[in-house]
Chain A
Amino acid sequence: MPPLVSIRDLRVAFNGVPVLRGVDIVLQRGEALGLVGESGSGKSVTWLAALGLLPRHAHVTGSVQLEGREILGAPAAELDHVRGGRIAMIFQDPASALNPVLTIRKQLCEALALHRDLQGSAVKTEARRLLELVGIPDAARRLEAYPHEFSGGQIQRIMIAMALAGNPDLLIADEPTTALDATIQAQILELLSTVRRELGIAMVLISHDLGVVAENCDRVAVMYAGRIVEDAPSNQLFADPVHPYAQGLIGALPPLDGPRRRLTAIPGTVPDPAQMPSGCAFAPRCALAAEPCGLAAPSLAPIANDRSVACIRAEASRRALLGIAAE
């Protein structure tokens, strides 16, 4: 049986400037994958490109298969069926994610009408059920309200309800809690994982917050400058990051338990997409960079049966980490 989603060598360029430089992701049914990286590393672009949601001037190549069927460049009608019906997506900014001039009912029922075979009052009943499912009180009345009458957290709940309307197999949550207060963040993440568990859908959680990803995902892919640099089960990545960039990210997190240690920062900044260094994009910031790092960009290669990393210094990097840990 083919994986739910299989992305191979996905590349995106805006006006000739490459922003995604060969991304490979395989996602199984029901799996929760975290996608982390700095802003501009290509986390959102990967999925916007996969669903054909990028503006026309974006040049997209590679392959995106949904259960073995190619959807990249598929006809509009087929993509419309996939979007919302097979793969749903929710976005970062709740304030502007819903159409301000349409009621919640119109926007929810629109999704239901598109992807579910429901007629007449059944549509509204289902819309109400979805709102109740995501925890909007007084759902029947609130259906007639407009987006500006809800708080950011409530909007995000409605977005989740709308995403679930099409009974998707995969939910892409693009920084779903970034714009929310800390307490609301926890509630939304809780809701996402409940929904995922109960409905058995796969989820991709895009975030720059490692903690959020660690708690909610089985597996994490770390992105840097338009590439995946490390892909590992969550617990292993956090215990034993191999790629120097992943090490840097985790080294910058304060540990909640264990002895106090000095937090490390990654020197330098992300390279400008228009002026990518030849070879490994992280090399200019990498403490372990050696001469061969500047020659060719390393490809994502397996280092264990469920882990892969894109670094020719992976072994040295691992030893260095263990060395630090032994001190």
Chain B
Amino acid sequence: MGRYFAIRIGRAALTIVLVVTFAFVVLRLSGDPALMILGPEAPPEVLAAFRKAWGLDDPIWFQYLDYFGAIARGELGRSMRDGRPAIELVLERIPATLALTLPAFVFKVALGIPAGIYAALHRGSGIDRAVMMTAVAGFTVPSFVLALVLVLVFAVQLGWLPSGGQDSWRHAILPIATLSLGGAAVLARFTRSAMLEVLGQPYIRTASAKGVPWRKVVTSHALPNAAIPTVTILGFMVGTLMAGAVVVESVFAWPGVGRLLVVAVANRDLAVVQCILLLVAMTMVTSNLVVDFLYGFLDPRLRSKGAHA
């Protein structure tokens, strides 16, 4: 078990290094921040001074090492736009993002998992088909389209809800709905197929054959087994809590991390982008670690494999 986790933590650290490196390379390759921020009309000496001030005239490998050293010291750099520490800019946006993604996560789970279980238990019924059609629609429609449809119906046509901004809780309803519906659809489909897979297993028949009432067969035999694959997708959803709202925040002009990312990328505000990517990578990696730990908890086969390894 100890080795099982040592290996996974090592992999997690490697993932973060790779993400950070990738961000570094891509951002350096995709345009000159000095030009993006100061504009093409800026005098050459101003541009040079800007590059010197931000270390952009150092060799790229030096910038890279310097950058890693800074991260290791916990210094994530300053925004090239207003000079404030990047981490500060990012941290102050997190509550706004979580205000959308956390309720959305709760709704996804509360809607998607029961719908998937119900559909699996009533396979082929009208409700199953309805759930599945909604689910397919839910995850084939891109979130910006869904967002625009919701705005069109509830903000423009009916005038019930605001179409953007962050002035009251009513402003959060449409973004949360957009995030929830797509996620619930994915989760419903996934849970349904996990349940169907488990319900077809011989041990379910064994449980029925020994006289376990169907309700209990479902709750104490089928669900614990179906939970194993479902946890994977839940972990992925937790991982996207921080940055899963890029599109939705942009459509609804919601001042969260996602919107900050879009603006920072457009401006080549390197430190801010890197800071956000680091944050996202760490959330992803952490939730993956938690999922691995949960696997060990849910599946005794993995537990003993870890012990023997």
Contact with A along B99-123 (1 / 0, CB 8 A): 0000000000000000000000000
Partner of A99, one of B124, B207, B298: B207
Contact with A along B197-222 (1 / 0, CB 8 A): 00001110111111111100000110
Instruction: Name the interface residues of A92-132: CB closer than 8 Å to any CB of B.
Output: 93, 96-102, 110-111, 114-115
C-alpha gap A119/B142 in the complex (Å): 56
Does A163 have its Cβ within 8 Å of any Cβ on chain B?
yes
> Which B residues are CB-close (under 8 A) to A114?
210-212
Complex: A136 Cα to B255 Cα, angstroms = 64
B225 adjacent to chain A (CB < 8 Å): yes
Are B300 and A146 neighbours in the complex by a CB distance under 8 Å? yes
Q: Mark B284-309, 1 if CB is under 8 A from A, else 0.
A: 00000000000000111100100000
Residue of A82, A99, A115, A149 with most partner-chain B CB within 10 A: A99
Measured CA separation A14–B300 after assembly (Å): 36
> Which B-chain residue is minimally distant from A148 (CB atoms)?
B301
Q: Which of A63-71, A83-91, A309-317 contacts B (4 or more CB under 8 A)?
A: A83-91
Task: Please tell me if the beta carbons of B206 and A159 are within 8 angstroms of each other in the complex.
Answer: yes
Taking CB atoms, residues of chain B closer than 8 Å to A84 are: 209-212
Q: Are B210 and A162 in contact (CB under 8 A)?
A: yes
Rounded to whole Å, the gap between the CB of A78 and the closest CB of chain B is 11
Chain B contacts for A91, CB-based, 8 A: 202, 205-206, 209
| B224 interface hit (Cβ, 8 Å) | yes
- How would residues 72 to 84 of chain A score, 1 for a CB under 8 Å from any chain B CB and 0 otherwise? 0000110011111
Q: In the complex, what residue of chain A is closest to B207 when comparing beta carbons? A: A99
Question: Would you list which residues of chain B between 1 and 28 have a CB under 8 Å from chain A?
Answer: none
B226 to nearest A CB, angstroms?
Answer: 10
A53:B205 contact, CB within 8 angstroms = yes
Q: Which residue of B has the minimal Cβ distance to A99?
A: B203
Q: How far is the CB of A171 from chain B (nearest CB, A)?
A: 11
Tell me if B's interface is mostly helix, strand, loop or mixed.
helix
Shortest C-beta distance, B229 to chain A (Å), equals: 13
Residues in chain A near residue B211, CB distance under 8 A: 80-85, 111, 114-115, 166
Q: Kindly identify which residue among B208, B210, B214 contacts A165, using a CB–CB cutoff of 8 Å.
A: B210
Choose from A80, A82, A93, A149 the contact partner of B304 (Cβ within 8 Å): A149
Q: Is the CB of B209 within 8 A of A89?
A: yes
In the complex, whether A10 has a CB less than 8 A from a CB of chain B is no
Q: Does A203 contact B (CB under 8 A)?
A: no
> In the assembled complex, which residues on chain B have CB atoms less than 8 Å from the CB atom of A102?
220-221, 224
Interface assignment of A242: CB less than 8 Å from any CB of chain B? no
- A274-B214 Cα distance, complex, nearest whole Å: 31
Contact with A along B45-67 (1 / 0, CB 8 A): 00000000000000000000000
Closest to A159 in B: B206
Q: Shortest distance in angstroms between A294's beta carbon and chain B's nearest beta carbon?
A: 37
Interface residues on B, range: 20 to 34
Interchain CA distance A51-B209 in the complex, whole Å:
8
Measured between beta carbons, the chain B residues less than 8 angstroms from A115 are: 211
A267 to B23, CA, bound (A): 70
Complexed CA–CA distance, A148 and B304 (Å): 9
Closest B residue, CB atoms, query A93: B202
Residues on B with C-beta less than 8 A from A85 are 211
Given A101-B224, A146-B300; A77-B213 close (CB under 8 Å): yes
Chain A residues with Cβ under 8 A from B298's Cβ? 101
A300 → B minimal CB distance (Å): 27
Given A93-B202, A148-B304, A149-B304, the answer on whether A100 and B299 have CB atoms closer than 8 Å is yes
Residue of B nearest to A80 (CB): B211
| B126: min CB distance to chain A, Å | 14
Task: Give the Cβ gap from A108 to chain B, nearest Cβ, in Å.
Answer: 10
Are B301 and A83 touching (Cβ within 8 A)? no
| A83-B209 in contact (CB<8A) | yes
User: Smallest CB-CB separation from A82: which chain B residue?
Assistant: B211
- Nearest B-chain residue to A83, judged by Cβ: B211
Expressed in whole angstroms, the Cα–Cα distance for A114 and B207 within the complex equals: 11
Q: B196 → chain A, closest Cβ, in Å?
A: 12
Q: Is the CB of A80 within 8 A of B212?
A: yes
Is there contact, CB below 8 Å, between B206 and A98? Answer: yes
A residues at B contact (CB < 8 Å): 48, 51, 53, 57, 76-77, 80-85, 88-89, 91, 93, 96-102, 110-111, 114-115, 146, 148-149, 159, 162-163, 165-166
5 contacts between A and B (CB under 8 A): A53-B205, A99-B221, A101-B224, A101-B299, A148-B300
Known: A88-B209, A96-B201, A162-B210. 20 other contacts (CB 8 A): A53-B209, A80-B213, A82-B211, A84-B210, A85-B211, A89-B209, A93-B202, A96-B202, A96-B203, A97-B206, A98-B206, A100-B299, A101-B228, A110-B207, A110-B220, A115-B211, A148-B300, A148-B301, A159-B206, A162-B206
Q: Which 9 A-B pairs have the closest CB atoms?
A: A84-B211, A84-B210, A83-B211, A146-B300, A89-B209, A99-B203, A96-B202, A111-B210, A80-B211
